[in-house]
Amino acid sequence: MSIILVQVIVGGLLLGAIYALFSSGLTLVWGMMNIVNFAHGDFVMLGMYVAFVVYTLLGAGPLLGAPLAVLVLATLGVIVYFGLIRDIMKGPMLAQILGTFGLALLLRYSVFWWFGANFLSLPENIVGGTFEIAGLRIQASRLLAGGVALLVTFGLHLLLTRTSLGSKMLAVAEDSTAAQLMGIRPDTMQAIAWAIAAGATGLAGALIATFFYIVPTVGETLGIVAFVTVSLGGFGSVPGALMAGLLIGVIESLSAYWIGAVYKDMVVYSLFLGFLWFRPQGLMGKT
Amino acid sequence: MKFKHILGLLCAASMSVILAGNASAQDKTVKIGGIFPLSGNAASTGVHTKAALEVAMDIINNAHPELGNFPLAKNAGLAGLGGAKVEVVFADNQGSPATGQNQALRLITEEKVVAITGAYQSGITLTASAIAEKYGIPFLNGESVAANLTERGFKWFFRTTPIASDFAKIYFDFLRDMKAAGAKTDTVAMVHDNTEYGTSVATVITNVFKANGQSAPIDIAYAANATDVQSQVLQLKEKKPDVVIMISYTSDAILFAKTMQALDYKPAMLIADDAGYSDPSFIKAVGKISQGAFNRSSWSVGPAGSPTALIAEMYKKKSGDEMDDTAARQMQGFFVLCDAIDRAGSTDPAKIQAALKATDLKPDQLMMGYKGVRFDDKGQNILAAGVMIQLQDGENYVTVWPKANAEKAPVLPYKGW
């Protein structure tokens, strides 16, 4: 195997881990509340802007920017839950779609108004540049994002399967009336779920900002990948999102390299549709 | 109930007063539609365009004797229409050909504009101008370069910018000169998106190279607004072309610059086809890792105190950024359109069309480095011209080719970061 091919695959794996990172928040909300958050991409965008503001004001990198983005987005998640989601969940499906879509536009154009339409960028060496191992070029910023993706996936999975908070959240997801009879407050659990999901998304944004451009519409570009990753991984399955992310990343990179970048989406989406035909619940979703 | 009736009548009365007021104001205002990407992924370009046209309106609508003989500057308003003011009704194309088309329809049927300018992305200019053609409204384009826009047999479409075939020729001549000076230019690769702009420019470049007996460039196409371009950069790394020509809008151009650095890939020569590489926010974001990139341009600030330098100063005050080639070409197009309306002495679309056809502007009446403005039967400016510029220090472009226009000598190889 040529070194360039190895580089393509390694690049694809890192890309996939990053896809998984910014999909985990979506799968949590989608799986637990059956709500499709169309503002998800714009949550990523907000995380990126938090990292940018932290850098311009304090000169600090993601070490400070990422935790701050988690904090800001988690707070926003709770506000969004109580201010919007709780009420539209009672409405028809269409209200939910339009509600989160409206939120997406509100966030996008608020940032547009405040920061302007210009493309922004963090310095290339903010997380230690690029290093070379055995002829392979690895960007420290992508490696960091990929590593965090594994940690977040692992952490969320443990939270949902091994803690009482996780069990309570899952109970609410399963049957909120029954959960209420058991003394669990659905409102609190769902607000916590939104805080975690939005926080994880903010973290993703802050880390992606270290190697991607920052612009108010960036959520549009990234959002669609998150939806595909979540559907392929299985709604609500955090490990599924990781596997799906890695799979999509590698298939994208290889098809772009072998067949051409114009066709990579065609390859990814036809494989995606073909797979869902056999297994509509996704890689790790429950039937 | 009675109170409601009275209130209704009052409302109606005030409405008619407002409408009447509008009608009399309309006599003195010439409304022109401006369709640009004010949101979406190309919004940074659209916002700069808006600033450029606002400066142009200031120059036309107020007296600017300091600009000397620059057309429409000396007196306030359009002299040919008794000092009428020009007003641009801006419309957002959202980066979508369908939206651009709807906006053209709205501007013509509801805003009653007498002419339209726009729409930046070639693919959107394509759809928006088709509506103008149908309604018989002049459409002046100052910036879209896809060759086929003026190959549709349209009667109401006029374009002032040099187009893809002009630039392909410039690239070819430039590379020939660089080769004569000792640079290696045998293999060329084109990296382009799959929009109307990217594909048509790539096709034209391929044709020009073939027509001149050179082998066709390596073609690396990608879908616009990419999330990742590592594979494309690795393809370049493997094929090792001497020259890479980048045909990309801003978002992808930034991603390519960052990825090239991450993968340590530098071609010996990198030529950018304007678009993303001319966006001031590209230079701010990744100019420092794109040092030595060549680019095409028709804009040059010129000596201090010259009309171009004064216009650049006004623009900077308005937008906060340096004037770039794209904004300048759009502004020039708008001036040409307003000059035609002025000469037509009327807002009748047919008279404006006739005046546009009769346009014959000399180089000293332009802000761009064109050899003039004169349209052929297809509506294309046959005197459009351009130069090669280079981002030598990563902050400002300088003219490097042809020799007669050069401020500095071209520097090779491509330095990157």
Q: Which residues of B touch A211 (CB under 8 A)?
A: 258, 262
- Domain assignment present for A57: yes
H/E run at residue A172: helix A164-174
DSSP secondary structure string, A219-277? HHHHHHHHHHHHHHH-TT-HHHHHHHHHHHHHHHHHHHHHT-HHHHHHHHHHHHHHHHH
For B253, name the nearest residue in chain A, comparing CA atoms only: A213
The token duo for B209 is 């190279």
Query: Is the minimum CB–CB distance between A116 and chain B shorter than 8 Å?
Result: yes
Residue B22 has a pLDDT of: 45
CATH superfamily, domain at B8-162+303-365: Response regulator (3.40.50.2300)
pLDDT in tens, B30-48: 999 999 999 988 899 999 9
Q: Compute the distance between CA of residue B117 and CA of residue B50 in angstroms, rounded to an integer.
A: 12
At residue B141, φ and ψ (nearest 5 deg) are: -110, 130
* B19 pLDDT higher than 50: no
Number of domains chain A is built from: 1
Map out the domains of chain B as residue ranges.
8-162+303-365, 165-297+387-405
Buried b (16+ CB within 10 A) or exposed e, A162-172: eeeebebbbbb
pLDDT in tens, B246-272: 999 999 999 999 999 999 999 999 999
Query: Quick one: average pLDDT of B312-327?
Result: 93
- Domain assignment present for A218: yes
Q: Per the CB < 8 Å rule, is A215 touching B41?
A: yes
CATH topology for B165-297+387-405 is Rossmann fold (3.40.50)
* B97 pLDDT higher than 80: yes
- Domain assignment present for A246: yes
This prediction has a pTM of 0.85
- Reported as a pLDDT band with limits 50, 70 and 90, residue B300 is confident
Residue B23 has a pLDDT of: 43
Reported residue count of chain A is 287
Nearest residue, CB atoms, B44 vs list A118, A222, A261: A118
Q: Per the CB < 8 Å rule, is A211 touching B263?
A: no
- Reported as a pLDDT band with limits 50, 70 and 90, residue B25 is very low
Q: Which residues of B touch A117 (CB under 8 A)?
A: 39, 43-44, 46-47
Q: Give me the tens of pLDDT residue by residue for chain A, a chain 287 residues long.
A: 688 999 999 999 999 999 998 898 898 888 777 788 899 999 999 999 999 999 999 988 889 999 999 999 999 999 999 999 999 888 888 888 899 999 999 999 999 999 988 899 998 888 888 888 888 999 999 999 999 999 999 999 999 889 999 899 888 888 888 988 988 998 999 999 999 999 999 999 999 999 999 999 999 888 888 988 998 998 888 899 999 999 999 999 999 999 888 888 889 889 989 988 988 888 887 75
- Domain assignment present for A286: no
Give the contacts of B338 (CB within 8 A, at least 6 positions apart).
B30, B32, B56, B60, B72, B78, B86
pLDDT in tens, B187-228: 999 999 998 889 989 999 999 999 998 889 999 999 998 999
- Domain assignment present for A284: no
Note down the domain range covering A7: 3-278
**CATH code where residue A175 lies:** 1.10.3470
Q: Which residues of B touch A4 (CB under 8 A)?
A: 234, 237-238
Instruction: Report helix, strand or coil for B297.
Output: strand
Q: Per the CB < 8 Å rule, is A11 touching B231?
A: yes
Residue B26 has a pLDDT of: 43
Q: Compute the distance between CA of residue B67 and CA of residue B79 in angstroms, rounded to an integer.
A: 16
The ipTM (two decimal places) reads 0.89
The token duo for B120 is 């930046």
pLDDT in tens, B132-172: 999 999 999 999 999 899 999 999 999 999 998 888 999 99
pLDDT in tens, B377-402: 999 999 998 899 999 999 989 999 88
Q: Compute the distance between CA of residue B142 and CA of residue A256 in angstroms, rounded to an integer.
A: 35
- Domain assignment present for A177: yes
- Reported as a pLDDT band with limits 50, 70 and 90, residue B8 is low
Residue B9 has a pLDDT of: 53
CA angle B232, B236, B241 (to 5 degrees): 150
Nearest residue, CB atoms, B43 vs list A117, A222, A225: A117
Residue B193 has a pLDDT of: 93
The token duo for B205 is 């470049």
Instruction: Tell me which of B128 and B4 has the higher pLDDT.
Output: B128
- Domain assignment present for A19: yes
One fold for B8-162+303-365 and B165-297+387-405: yes
DSSP secondary structure string, B145-181? --GGGGSS--SSEEE-S--HHHHHHHHHHHHHHHHHT
Give percent of chain B above pLDDT 90. Answer: 78
- Domain assignment present for A41: yes
